[in-house]
Structure formats: C-alpha cells, structure tokens
C-alpha cells in the first residue's frame, strides 16, 4: 500500500472535513449576495467581540447600584436608560452578552457531539441498534421541550448550569436524525468501501471517513438551533430559572422590568430588543450557511 | 390495502404507548431529582431520626425505586397525582380547573394563526419573489426570533396602557369575575350560554391580545410551511392543466390546491397547536392568565414538585396525542402515503 494509493482516500475525507473552510473565497462571494445573511454574521461577530471585551466597552458597571439615579429614561449618558437600582441598562446588556454566548455555546457543544454520535452510530451499525436509537430519538423529539426544560430546571435548582443542562437534554434529537441521514448517504460510497478494504477499523471508519461528511449539515442545523436556544434560555431566565440576580441575564432583566412596564417601558423593552436582534441574527446566519454549505438545499 | 392500514395503526398506537411510558419515567425522575429532601421539608431539619423514618415510610420513600414507580404509575391510572402544596387541593382538581383557560387561549390562537397564516403562505407562493413574498419572509423570520413573553409585555404597553384598545391582564375585569357559572370552563362559551353579553364582550376584550401574540409565533411556522407546500404543488402538471383550461386562481386554490395540501396542513396545524400549548405557559405569566402555565410557574417558584410534575405530564400527554393524531390523519386521509409505503 503506497502513499499514492491512500492519498485519494485521505484527501476525500479531508475534503469533507474542510468543506467548511475550503472555498472560503467563493463562500464569501456567495454571502455578499445575501445581504440579510451578511447582516446576521456581522451581528454575531459584534456579539462575540462585545462578549469578549465587555469590561472595555461597557460605560458603567453592570451591578453597581446608584439609587438616586433609578429608572432614568434613555438619554445621552444612559443610552438604554437605568433600571430600578439605577444600574445602566446598556452596560447590563453588554455584560449579558457573555451569559448569552456562554449558554448558546455550552448547549451547542453538549448537543452537537451527542447528537452526532447517536446519529452516525445508528446509521452506520444499522439493524436493531439503529431501531432502538432512533426510537429513543423520536420519543425525546415528541416531548414538549420547553416544559421539560422548565421542570428539569425546577427539579435541579435554578441557575445557569442547570438551564444549560435542561435545554441540552431535549436538544440533541434533531442533530441525531440529521447525522443518521447523512451517514446513510455516505455509508455505501466507494471511498468508504475502499477504506474498509484497506482494513480500516469500524471506529476509524466512523470518525475519519463518515463523521467528517456529516459536519457541514450538522453545523448548519446547530446554527439554526442557536436562535431557539436563546429564546428558551431567555424564557427560563424570565421565569427565574436561569442565571440568578444580580447577573445581567436578558430574560431575567425583562422579568424584573415587567413591574415598571407601564411607566418605565425601557426597563423591560431594551433586553427584549437585544434578544430579538441576536436570535434574528442566528436565524439569518443559519439560513445563509445552509445556502452556502448545502448545495442540495433549494431555497423554497 | 385495508389490512395494511390496521397493522400500521396498531404500530402507531404501540409507539404512542411507548412514548407515553417514557414520559412517565421522565416525570418520575424529575419528581425525585429535587435537591432538597422532601422528608426534611415536611418534618423539619431538627426532627429526631424516628420521625424522619416514619415520614419516609409514609411517603413510600423507603421502598425500592421500581416499587415507587409502580405506585406512581397505578395512582396515576386512578387519576391521583398527589396534593398541591400551594392550594392544598388534589393536583388533578387544580389542573382541571386551570386547563380550560389554557385551552381557550391556545385554541383561539390556532384559529387566528390558521386564518391568517394559510392564505398568507399561499399568496407568498403564488406571487413568489414579489413584495408580498418578501413581507411574509420577514414576518415569519421575526416570528421565529421574537421572545413571546417580551412581545406580550410590549403588546400590553402599547395596546392596553397607551391606546387602551384591549383589556389588561386576567380573563375579565375584576368586577365581572365569577359572575358566570362555569359549565365548560371556557369563558367565551359559558358567558354566551348564560346569555351574559357584558361578560362575553369583556372576555373578548381580554383574550384578544394574548391570543394574537401567541398566534403570531404559530403563524410564522404555518405560513412558511403553507408556502413550501403550495410551491411544491404549483409545479405539478395538474395545476398547469387547470390553468390551461382557463381556471381562475381562486378555482385553482379552492378546487385543486387545498384538497392536495389539506392533509399536510393538518399535520402542521397539530404541531402548531402543541407548540401553542407550550408557548401559552410563558404567555400566561405575562397576562396573569389563570391557566396551566400560570399554575405550573407558581408551583415552580415554591418547588411544589407534585404540581410541576403533573402539569408537565398533562401538557406532555396532550402534545404527544396531538402528534399521534396528526400522524394518523396523514395515514388515513392521504391515499398517497398508503401507496408510497406498500
């Protein structure tokens, strides 16, 4: 077995793995024809930068109270106004990006690999394993996810970590289904057969030859999921089951602003705008990614 | 063909039962995950070990887990879900009192979202890439991205506090509460049955905003799906043939398109309905709507796990049964699925 023989096999798997990175220029060109998608990516880039450099960007402390200054309407000093403790809402929103980004990525990092593992094993092994795994997937898929997340968060005790776990528990099935479908597509291709003939072990086949092929569509799906994660996390926060005060969690901020909504609308409205823009950006970015990475998909 | 349907039906029923059993297991686990010891909560931290043990035995916590599950399962079959800490009533009684309010809200929302969403989705498909298609795309994108509880608050600030077009939180104004005898529990129907138009219009005035807010999030989904179903059909030969025969757009929609996408639409509506029941939970909190969502969140706050588990179970069961019914509709009403699977 010479290096020249293995090269094509290798490069095919490699190609799949780098489908995300490969043709970056053409992807960017495609993206520039999608102004909405471009907008989504820009917002997300801003979000991450803001989360990373929150202390440098925020004009005020997110937690320092200034009671004489409470419930000030938006002004040049406080762009988004102040809350009932005189805290600058914009600064709290800026620090809140950290909680949002953390939640979204934590859930994604939990849900992505679990879903992929279940999906590719089911698709690759087939038979009874496939039937059992997919049956479990379908059952979890048929659960009302928000309600279960609520119940789990209540049972485990409120907090950011439990919110993350609660959201993840019902988040993996769509990924598993997708990974299984992709695995079924590539399972019988020539390059996998070739790798098998060369004596690649099942594990090696799974992780070096099949899993990489599933990554592009899984990444698309995960990106589109992120919008839903933000909304669920905000709902948990709103009900007091997410990050605890004084942490500037957006959903919790809406909840506390609700008491003043009739006279001081900005306290509840501003965090909602932040949630809306972020979740919109994830949706737009997900749509655009799908168009770029998944040529089979027809926008209809 | 007929026989096949029966086998398929039995299979689906079996799957539903397995799913329901899984839901039971999950809720059982949730009920026992509680970080605080339920025994300690009842007898107090300082109680002597004998009292502790007695209470453990009374709650059945000294039994093996499978026996505890069996007790949970059998009492559930007898309609016993325990007592709610908050109200002191049996949870089942509380839930059946709260459920009609949720049902009323979600049903009105699904009606509104269907009446708006289906025509909008069809128009978007008919006039693809026109301004209306773009408008529909933006509307459904925002609908997918908006936190529904926040939208409710904004709606209250604008339409209740500022414009005073709609009623505030609650099902009716306080002075009208309890005037109508609850027969169905659905206030709109009860007030009509009692012939009390004042309560009826007041109830309409109160339900319209939360129903519209909930409907919007469902509409985003219904519109998008209707659009893609319609697009699929528009390229079919029979539509082109109908066009060639000179059928009007209206005739094509009512005579050809709707019957062809009806079954797919039913599935979508069932899923949307289930989603609305879930969405109602947070919306009810915003609108102080005395339904299951409000009940469940109140129970969450004080860690009343009997009530939380029961509410989860009820919503879960409805959710699964809706999914099952939509599957069934697909199987029974659409001859194409039968052909495709045999």
pLDDT tens-digit profile of B116-133? 999 999 999 988 888 999
Inter-chain residue contact A239 with B34, CB threshold 8 Å: no
Bigger pLDDT: B134 or B182? B134
Provide the H-helix boundaries in B287-304: 292-302
Inter-chain residue contact A154 with B308, CB threshold 8 Å: yes
Inter-chain residue contact B147 with A146, CB threshold 8 Å: no
Inter-chain residue contact A142 with B281, CB threshold 8 Å: no
In which band, very low, low, confident or very high, does the pLDDT at B340 lie, cut at 50, 70 and 90? very low
Among A139, A156, A275, the residue with its CB nearest the CB of B33 is A156
Cα first-last separation, chain B: 8
What integer pLDDT is reported at residue A2 of this predicted model? Answer: 44
In which band, very low, low, confident or very high, does the pLDDT at B57 lie, cut at 50, 70 and 90? confident
In which band, very low, low, confident or very high, does the pLDDT at B38 lie, cut at 50, 70 and 90? low
Residues 6+ away with beta carbon under 8 Å from B289: B101, B102, B105, B169, B170, B171, B210, B280, B283
Structure-token pair, residue B167:
């009623």
Among A152-156, A161-165, B34-38, which is the least confidently predicted range? B34-38
**Tens digits of residue pLDDT in B2-37:** 445 778 788 888 888 998 999 888 888 888 776 556
In which band, very low, low, confident or very high, does the pLDDT at B207 lie, cut at 50, 70 and 90? very high
What integer pLDDT is reported at residue A299 of this predicted model? Answer: 46
- Residue B305 at interface with chain A, using a CB cutoff of 8 Å: yes
What integer pLDDT is reported at residue A61 of this predicted model? Answer: 86
Tell whether omega for the bond before B26 is within 30 degrees of 0, i.e. cis: no
b/e burial code for range A27-57 (CB count within 10 A of at least 16 → b): beeebeebebbbebbebbeebeebbeebeee
CA distances from A115 to A167, A171, B128 (A): 14, 8, 36
- Which neighbouring-strand residues pair with B83? B90
The residue extents of the domains of chain B are: 91-341
What integer pLDDT is reported at residue A279 of this predicted model? Answer: 94
User: Is residue A179 pLDDT above 90, yes or no?
Assistant: yes
Bigger pLDDT: B333 or B69? B69
Give burial (CB, 10 Å; 0-12/13-18/19+) of A135. middle
In which band, very low, low, confident or very high, does the pLDDT at A259 lie, cut at 50, 70 and 90? confident
In which band, very low, low, confident or very high, does the pLDDT at B162 lie, cut at 50, 70 and 90? confident
- Range 125-164 of A in CB contact (< 8 A) with B: 135, 138-139, 142-148, 150-152, 154-157
User: Is residue B341 pLDDT above 50, yes or no?
Assistant: no
What integer pLDDT is reported at residue A3 of this predicted model? Answer: 44
Bigger pLDDT: B6 or B113? B113
Q: Which residue has the tokens 């890439």?
A: B129
Structure-token pair, residue B193:
């049955």
Contacts of B278 in chain A (CB under 8 A): 144-147
**Cβ proximity of B133 and B325 under 8 Å:** no
**Cβ proximity of A279 and B322 under 8 Å:** no
Residues 6+ away with beta carbon under 8 Å from B265: B118, B225, B226, B229
- Which neighbouring-strand residues pair with B90? B83
> Could you tell me which of B214, B147, B158 has the C-alpha nearest to residue A273?
B147
What integer pLDDT is reported at residue B83 of this predicted model? Answer: 81
Contacts of B157 in chain A (CB under 8 A): 261-262, 265, 268-269
For residues B143 and A272, what is the distance between their CA atoms, to the nearest angstrom?
A: 14
Q: Which of B145, B157, B276 has the highest number of chain A CBs within 10 A, making it the mutation to test binding with A?
A: B145
What integer pLDDT is reported at residue A59 of this predicted model? Answer: 87
Residues A114-134: what's their mean pLDDT?
A: 92
What integer pLDDT is reported at residue B45 of this predicted model? Answer: 66
> Could you tell me which of B108, B127, B113 has the C-alpha nearest to residue B220?
B113
What integer pLDDT is reported at residue B115 of this predicted model? Answer: 95
A:B CB pairs within 8 Å: 138
**Tens digits of residue pLDDT in A94-107:** 999 999 999 999 99
**Cβ proximity of B261 and B230 under 8 Å:** yes
Report the mean per-residue pLDDT for chain B.
84
What integer pLDDT is reported at residue B214 of this predicted model? Answer: 92
Contacts of A73 in chain B (CB under 8 A): none
What integer pLDDT is reported at residue A115 of this predicted model? Answer: 94
**Phi then psi for A248, rounded to 5 degrees?**
-80, 65
Inter-chain residue contact B228 with A300, CB threshold 8 Å: yes
> Could you tell me which of A52, A61, A123 has the C-alpha nearest to residue A88?
A61
Among B142, B147, B296, the residue with its CB nearest the CB of A231 is B147
In which band, very low, low, confident or very high, does the pLDDT at B342 lie, cut at 50, 70 and 90? very low
What integer pLDDT is reported at residue B40 of this predicted model? Answer: 65
- Range 223-242 of A in CB contact (< 8 A) with B: 227, 231, 234-235, 238-241
**Tens digits of residue pLDDT in A3-50:** 444 444 455 555 555 555 555 666 667 667 778 888 899 999 999 999
- Residue B286 at interface with chain A, using a CB cutoff of 8 Å: yes
What integer pLDDT is reported at residue A4 of this predicted model? Answer: 45
Which CATH superfamily includes the segment(s) B91-341?
A: MetI-like (1.10.3720.10)
Measure B146 CA to nearest chain A CA, in Å. 5
Among A256-270, B47-61, B149-163, B201-215, which is the least confidently predicted range? B47-61
For residues B206 and B160, what is the distance between their CA atoms, to the nearest angstrom?
A: 10
Q: Which of A15-29, A228-242, B242-256, B270-284 has the highest mean pLDDT?
A: A228-242
Residues 6+ away with beta carbon under 8 Å from B135: none
């Amino acid at each position: 077995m010479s290096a020249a023989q293995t090269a094509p096999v290798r490069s095919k798997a490699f190609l799949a793995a780098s489908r995300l990175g490969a043709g970056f220029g053409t992807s960017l060109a495609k993206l520039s024809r999608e102004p909405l998608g471009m907008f989504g990516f820009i917002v997300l880039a801003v979000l991450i930068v803001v989360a990373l450099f929150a202390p440098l960007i925020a004009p005020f402390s997110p937690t320092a109270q200034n009671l004489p200054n409470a419930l000030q309407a938006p002004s040049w000093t406080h762009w988004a106004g102040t809350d009932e403790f005189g805290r600058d809402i914009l600064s709290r929103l800026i620090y809140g990006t950290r909680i949002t980004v953390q939640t979204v990525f934590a859930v994604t990092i939990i849900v992505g690999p679990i879903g992929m593992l279940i999906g590719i094993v089911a698709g690759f092994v087939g038979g009874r394993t496939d039937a059992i795994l997919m049956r479990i997937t379908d059952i979890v898929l048929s659960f009302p996810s928000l309600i279960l997340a609520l119940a789990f968060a209540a049972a485990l005790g409120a907090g950011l970590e439990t919110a993350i776990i609660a959201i993840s528990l019902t988040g993996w099935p769509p990924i598993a289904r997708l990974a299984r479908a992709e695995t079924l597509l590539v399972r019988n291709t020539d390059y996998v057969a070739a790798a098998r003939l060369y004596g690649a072990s099942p594990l090696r086949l799974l992780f070096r030859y099949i899993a990489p092929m599933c990554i592009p569509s899984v990444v698309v799906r995960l990106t589109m999921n992120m919008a839903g994660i933000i909304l669920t996390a905000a709902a948990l926060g709103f009900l007091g089951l997410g990050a605890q005060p004084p942490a500037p969690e957006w959903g919790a901020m809406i909840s506390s602003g609700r008491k003043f909504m009739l006279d001081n609308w900005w306290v509840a409205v501003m965090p909602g705008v932040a949630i809306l823009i972020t979740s919109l950006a994830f949706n737009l970015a997900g749509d655009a990614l799908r168009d770029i990475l998944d040529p089979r998909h027809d926008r209809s | 063909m007929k026989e096949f349907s029966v086998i398929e039906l039995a299979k689906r029923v079996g799957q539903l039962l397995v799913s329901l059993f899984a839901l039971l297991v999950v809720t059982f686990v949730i009920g026992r995950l509680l970080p605080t010891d339920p025994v300690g909560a009842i007898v107090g931290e300082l109680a002597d070990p004998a009292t502790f043990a007695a209470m453990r035995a009374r709650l059945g916590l000294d039994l093996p887990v499978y026996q505890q599950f069996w007790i949970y399962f059998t009492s559930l079959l007898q309609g016993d879900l325990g007592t709610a800490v908050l109200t002191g009533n049996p949870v089942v009684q509380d839930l059946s009192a709260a459920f009609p309010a949720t049902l009323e809200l979600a049903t009105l929302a699904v009606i509104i979202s269907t009446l708006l969403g289906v025509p909008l989705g069809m128009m978007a498909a008919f006039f693809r890439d026109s301004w209306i298609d773009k408008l529909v795309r933006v509307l459904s994108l925002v609908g997918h991205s908006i936190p529904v509880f926040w939208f409710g608050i904004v709606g209250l600030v604008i339409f209740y506090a500022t414009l005073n077009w709609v009623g505030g939180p609650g099902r009716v104004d306080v002075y009208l509460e309890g005037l109508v005898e609850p027969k169905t529990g659905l206030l709109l129907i009860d007030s009509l049955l009692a012939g009390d138009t004042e309560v009826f219009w007041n109830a309409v005035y109160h339900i319209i905003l939360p129903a519209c807010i909930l409907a919007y999030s469902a509409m985003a989904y219904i519109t998008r799906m209707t659009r893609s179903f319609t697009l699929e059909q528009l390229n079919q030969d029979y539509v082109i043939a109908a066009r060639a025969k000179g059928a009007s757009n209206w005739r094509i929609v009512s005579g050809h398109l709707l019957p062809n996408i009806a079954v797919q639409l039913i599935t979508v509506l069932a899923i949307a309905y289930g989603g609305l029941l879930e969405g109602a939970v947070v919306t009810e909190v915003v609108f102080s709507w005395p339904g299951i969502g409000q009940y469940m969140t109140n129970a969450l706050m004080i860690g009343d796990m009997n009530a939380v588990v029961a509410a989860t179970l009820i919503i879960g069961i409805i959710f699964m049964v809706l999914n099952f019914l939509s599957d069934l509709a697909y199987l029974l009403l659409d001859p194409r699925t039968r052909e495709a699977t045999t």
